[in-house]
Structure 1
Amino acid sequence: MKLAGKTALVTGASSGIGAAIAEALAANGASVTVNYFRNEAGACAVEKKIMGAGQQALVVQADVRKKSEVRRMFEEHLRRFGRLDILVNNAGDMVKRVATAETSEETWRDAIDLNLSSAFYCCQEAIAPMRSQNFGRIINISSVGARTGGGAGSIPYHAAKAAVMAMTKALAKELAQNGVTVNTVAPGIIDTEFHDRHTAPHLRDEWIKTLIPMQRAGLPREVANVVAFLASDDASYMTGSTVDVNGGMAMY
């Protein structure tokens, strides 16, 4: 197992891509802290799968938009596992799809806090333990829309996700001498509840047909497997990179 003996913390891991990431890391040998905000049942289901794979799991409720709760979450992880090898900043959401002229200050701030500030706070807390052990893997989840601009009504979300890419590059430079790599994964249209909430079915189908050469949505495990690779020693010479998982929707 490529991640045997490693410990990981995954935010927003109670469903969708986050759940698949937590399960993939465990399948590769890592012990995993499963963070959730509201979906306790989902987090406990992920915990059960991790334990079924023979690995240790810790479920921690925390609102990662709040620095104090992020700090508590990391303290709980370190108290349980003693070290932190892998951080996956997955928590995020569009909040709502709304025209730019009608976007409220609250919606803007909510999108920035959930998609950008949360990742920044988690990276801050990860630096000390990773530096102390001269090893770490930070993987930030962005979006294809950070490159393309996304669909109508999504500026706050995709602006935040683009900032995550920039933060990844800056932090990769800062931590390169400490044995810590920092990379981004940018999913395209993935078959999760995200698009059920924010994209009309006919529009989703149209995007898949006209924008994706592979003519299908991606699966959460297809994103998770890339994250597991970036967390492993196989990706030891990759840092500051963005890996696109989008079926050809955007090619760089």
Structure 2
Amino acid sequence: MAGSVTVVTGGSRGIGAATCLRLAAEGHDVVVGYVRDAAAADSVAEGVRKAGRRSVAIRADTAVETDVERLFDVAEERLGPVTGLVNNAAVTGPLGRFTEVDTENLRRVVDVNLVGTLLCSRRAAQLMTARGSGVIVNVSSAAATLGSPGEYVHYAATKAAVDALTLGLAKELGPDGVRVNAVAPGVIDTEMHATMGDPDRPRRAAGTIPLRRPGQAEEIAAAIAWLMSPDSSYATGAVLRVSGGR
């Protein structure tokens, strides 16, 4: 993977952080995108450098167009032409029934999960199609097909939109040499659940999962890394479910 420069949004924690480190181990130089925790992002970037690859942490709110433009501009200035994008940045808002979701949270979920993914994908596609190659991997969710009633229907809806984006972009960008795929994680044991207000959710969900356990961030990172690699060179438009059978 020599010469690969990959932007990972939401790269400071959870699946994003694990993905940054896995990609570094496979030869990628990595841009760690983050929105709040600079110390965590810098720590991930340092982990990439310890793996022998170049890295830079860049603050960017993916829902803001000017931030997205700056993210890619700085990435190319510091590390060179961007060859890959992992659209991982996402928020859920508090768990609860859809009727109880306030408008501010609803809009933020749509802005980050869908608009942010659209903005990042558009900028990456502009750069990649001009060069005739590139790889985009979107982080979707098993919620896209489960619906997540009583938890976060609005989040599930944005992830279903990400799946549609994956398929459409794969067909549109394939002739330009750009592959687009997605990974759909199930319940993964990360701090996201505490952020939602339910840190014990992965443990409680284990009984509903055929493999009887939540997944680990590193398992999702492995799937993303495969989709980013030449081993998946004939895969595009795929949504790879990594959910323990759920």
Q: For this structure pair, what is the TM-score category when the shorter chain's length is used for normalisation?
A: over 0.9
Match runs of 1:64-79 below 5 Å:
64-79=62-77
Q: Residues 215 and 170 from structure 1, CA distance in 2 versus in 1: closer, same or farther, beyond 3 angstroms?
A: same
Name the SS of the counterpart of 2:222 in structure 1.
helix
Name the SS of the counterpart of 1:120 in structure 2.
helix
- Checking the alignment, whether the CA contact within 8 Å between 1:186 and 1:244 is kept in structure 2 is yes
- Checking the alignment, whether the CA contact within 8 Å between 1:25 and 1:32 is kept in structure 2 is yes
Q: What code does the residue aligned with 1:71 have?
A: E
- Checking the alignment, whether the CA contact within 8 Å between 2:45 and 2:55 is kept in structure 1 is yes
- Checking the alignment, whether the CA contact within 8 Å between 1:145 and 1:151 is kept in structure 2 is no
| 1:100 positional shift | 1.6
Provide runs of 4+ in structure 1 moved above 6 Å.
none
- Checking the alignment, whether the CA contact within 8 Å between 1:188 and 1:245 is kept in structure 2 is yes
* Aligned-partner Cα distance in 2 for 1:190–1:145: 12
Matched, 1:239 2:236: yes
> What does residue 108 of structure 2 align with?
110
* Aligned-partner Cα distance in 1 for 2:166–2:180: 6
| 1:217 positional shift | 1.0
Name the SS of the counterpart of 1:226 in structure 2.
helix
Q: Residues 24 and 98 from structure 1, CA distance in 2 versus in 1: closer, same or farther, beyond 3 angstroms?
A: same
Name the SS of the counterpart of 1:9 in structure 2.
strand
Instruction: Choose which of 99, 120, 123 in structure 1 pairs with 2:121.
Output: 123
* Aligned-partner Cα distance in 1 for 2:214–2:99: 30
> What does residue 153 of structure 2 align with?
155
> What does residue 3 of structure 2 align with?
5
Match runs of 1:83-98 below 5 Å:
83-98=81-96
The Cα offsets for residues 12-56 of structure 1, whole Å up to 9 and x where unpaired, read as 000100000011111000100001100111101101110000000
Matched, 1:222 2:208: no
RMSD over equivalenced CA pairs, Å:
1.2
Q: Residues 208 and 236 from structure 1, CA distance in 2 versus in 1: closer, same or farther, beyond 3 angstroms?
A: same
* Aligned-partner Cα distance in 2 for 1:59–1:116: 22
| 1:197 positional shift | 2.5
> What does residue 187 of structure 1 align with?
185
- Checking the alignment, whether the CA contact within 8 Å between 2:83 and 2:134 is kept in structure 1 is yes
Q: Residues 67 and 30 from structure 1, CA distance in 2 versus in 1: closer, same or farther, beyond 3 angstroms?
A: same
* Aligned-partner Cα distance in 1 for 2:36–2:197: 22
Q: Residues 151 and 203 from structure 1, CA distance in 2 versus in 1: closer, same or farther, beyond 3 angstroms?
A: farther
Unaligned regions of 5+ residues in structure 2, if any?
Answer: none
The Cα offsets for residues 58-82 of structure 1, whole Å up to 9 and x where unpaired, read as 1100111101110011100111222
- Checking the alignment, whether the CA contact within 8 Å between 1:144 and 1:150 is kept in structure 2 is no
Match runs of 1:12-23 below 5 Å:
12-23=10-21
| 1:133 positional shift | 1.8
Unaligned regions of 5+ residues in structure 1, if any?
Answer: none
Matched, 1:145 2:163: no
TM-score when normalising by structure 2: 0.96
* Aligned-partner Cα distance in 2 for 1:233–1:143: 24
| 1:160 positional shift | 0.6
Q: Which moved more, 1:232-241 or 1:151-160?
A: 151-160
Q: Residues 14 and 201 from structure 1, CA distance in 2 versus in 1: closer, same or farther, beyond 3 angstroms?
A: closer
Aligned residues: 246
Q: Residues 12 and 202 from structure 1, CA distance in 2 versus in 1: closer, same or farther, beyond 3 angstroms?
A: closer
> What does residue 57 of structure 1 align with?
55
- Checking the alignment, whether the CA contact within 8 Å between 2:8 and 2:85 is kept in structure 1 is yes
Name the SS of the counterpart of 2:7 in structure 1.
strand
| 1:151 positional shift | 4.5
| 1:198 positional shift | 2.3
| 1:205 positional shift | 2.9
> What percent of counterpart residues are identical?
39
The Cα offsets for residues 109-138 of structure 1, whole Å up to 9 and x where unpaired, read as 111001111110001101122112211100
- Checking the alignment, whether the CA contact within 8 Å between 1:100 and 1:155 is kept in structure 2 is yes
| 1:204 positional shift | 3.7
* Aligned-partner Cα distance in 1 for 2:26–2:170: 24
